[in-house]
Structure 1
Amino acid sequence: MDHLGYRMKFGALGPSTNTIVQPDFDDMRPVGVTNHYSRIIIPNDPVNTDEEFLQLVHNIQENTLQALDVLKSCEMQYLVMGMSAATFWDGRKGAEKYLDMMRDRAGVGVSCGSFATEAALNTYKAKRIAFVSPYFPVANDQVRRFYQDCGFTVVRDICLRRPSPVQIAHTTDEMCRDALKQLDGDDVDAIVQVGTNLSMVRFAAAAEWVLGKPVIAINTATYWHALRACGINDKLQGFGKLLSHY
């Protein structure tokens, strides 16, 4: 039994440019659970077009398995994926195929952003949703397709078109606030934020009190999904109702 991770030893994957997901996961870590992070090496290339965003996704996919193989050496018990765009690709069937590949390679169970946010939306019994991403339209198309395949109606979505992978983490609360204002409406049951390098775990928790509806940050949903999948039912405050009530 691991001296610190005596309840669960999580492995976590994220792009090398991502500075948000690791501290987010650590902030949500209960006593007796440890997170062990491996970086997917990618360049911090400028992203100004759909084509450049597709190259970013390709760079992440090319190096994910190598980072996973490094992580396996710590004998993790479960994998929490701290990268999201690739987990939405090619609809729900494509996402299932990708998740199966990751499970087979990791040799343990896996939680990822696409299916974790689906589970969160089902927990809230949401049907009509809106979402915000730091991506470009080509990626929002993939996210929308995934949620539609899952049976949700996507009413609206916004892509913030952040100009590089590192710049995603520089997105301000004001940008997020303005996006939520544009997304919200009586025709939306819940709002989802995707993109693990976009810092919204606490902002989303505050926003759902103001808006009176679920605002689901992908890092919160993914870590919640992993905890519950492993039978860890601790209720945590400060990250919204998903972690404090479910």
Structure 2
Amino acid sequence: MRDYSLNPPSLRDDPDALGHRRVFAVIGPSTNTIVQPDMELFRPRGVTNAYRDIYVEDPAALSDAAFQDGAAKISAGMAEALRTAVTCRPDYLVLGVSAISFVGGRDGCDAFIRDVNAITGLDISVGSIATAQALQAMGARRIAVLSPYYETANANVKRFMGDYGLEVVRDIPLRCTSWTNIARVSEATLIEALKALDGPDIDAIAQVGTNLSMVRLAAEAEKWLGKPVVAINTATYWHALRANGFLDQFDGFGRLMSEF
């Protein structure tokens, strides 16, 4: 295996002009406005993010059942999005939608990754695994979870984290009323939720839901909570960088990106 620790080279003899180190295809729902700008924050020189979306309609209202139905539609549109993504000849895939990656626990996610590989021939970073591995790297065992989801989706998150040896002590589902409204949750609401989740009985807080804007707030919250706060978009791109041999670190986005 090549040593990519200092300056990972191109995977090709004919490298992309701007993505000469890597071209990442970043895949997210068409209603998502947060993933693309978030992941640009962490992009090293010589790496490009080719954003490709999964078509999904924005519902007028969400409920627990409607949320699950919408997630199923996103999952159903994944194959077509992958076929579109590979036309730019990316080196690696980054999944910018999280709810579907928690379904079925660890085994369900592993099966999803196998399906992606069968369609594309490429490896992929997904938010569920990335967040779990980030929490493990930071020494967390007992955690709290903040999501824009409803109860059933949060139950999927709890099961998945349990499969990775992480106990979810408590969680808050924000029950957002549409896919686009996830991006409109106020910072004040998020701060209140983080404080409600905190306690001496947890080691860290994880935020899931890729359209929830938490990259900067999670980093700030670590300062006043005194423990790791892992935003899923940060974790997913961190995982993609490390999986490709990039050791680039970034200040201002929390301990995960600056220390691990």
TM-score bucket of the superposed structures, by smaller chain:
over 0.9
* 1:197 partnered with 2:211: yes
Establish whether residue 160 from structure 1 lines up as the match of residue 160 from structure 2: no
SS at match of 1:73: helix
Are 2:256 and 1:234 equivalent residues in the alignment? no
Contact 1:12 1:36 in 2 (8 A): yes
CA contact (8 A) 1:38 1:67 kept: yes
Matches within 5 A, 1:104-123: 104-123=118-137
User: Matched residues in 2 for 1:164 and 1:142: separation?
Assistant: 19
RMSD: 0.8
Give 2:60's aligned residue. 46
Q: Where does 1:144-159 land on structure 2 (aligned, <5 Å)? A: 144-159=158-173
1:103 deviates by 2.2
Distance 1:226 1:155 in 2: 28
CA deviations 1:14-40 (Å, max 9, x no partner) are: 000000001101111111110001110
AA aligned opposite 2:171: D
C-alpha distance after superposition, 1:201-229 (max 9, x if no partner): 00000001111100000000000000000
1:28 aligns with 2:42: yes
Counterpart secondary structure, 2:17: coil
Say whether the 8 Å CA contact 1:47–1:53 is kept in structure 2: no
Q: Which has the larger radius of gyration?
A: 2
Q: Distance in 1 between matches of 2:116 and 2:185?
A: 29
**CA distance in 2 between partners of 1:127 and 1:43 (Å):** 37
The answer as to 2:72 corresponding to 1:58 is: yes
1:86 to 100, 118, 128: 100
| 2:139 aligned partner, one-letter code | K
Structure 1, unaligned runs of 5 or more? none
- Provide Cα deviations, 1:121-149, integer angstroms capped at 9, x if missing partner: 11011100000000011100101111111
| Identical pairs, percent | 49
TM-score for the superposition, normalised by structure 2:
0.93
How far apart in 2 are the matches of 1:117 and 1:107?
24
Aligned-residue offset at 1:48: 3.0
Could you tell me how far apart the structure 1 residues matched to 2:179 and 2:62 are? 11
Residue range with higher mean Cα deviation, 99-108 or 118-127 = 99-108
Measure the CA separation in 2 of the matches of 1:35 and 1:48. Answer: 30
Q: Which moved more, 1:161-170 or 1:44-53?
A: 44-53
Amino acid at match of 1:243: M
2:147 aligns with: 133
Which has the larger displacement, 184-193 or 59-68?
Answer: 59-68
How many residues align? The count is 246
In 2, the alpha carbon distance for the partners of 1:128 and 1:79 equals 30
Runs of 4+ in structure 1 deviating by more than 6 angstroms, as ranges, are none
Aligned-pair distance for 1:106? 2.2
| 1:142 lines up with 2:148 in the alignment | no
Alignment partner of 1:99 out of 113, 120, 131: 113
Whether the aligned pair in 2 keeps the contact of 1:191 and 1:214 (CA below 8 Å) is yes
Q: Is the 8 A contact 1:87 1:99 kept in 2?
A: no
Query: 1:37 corresponds to which residue?
Result: 51
Residues in 2 aligned to 1:104 and 1:119: alpha-carbon distance in whole angstroms: 24
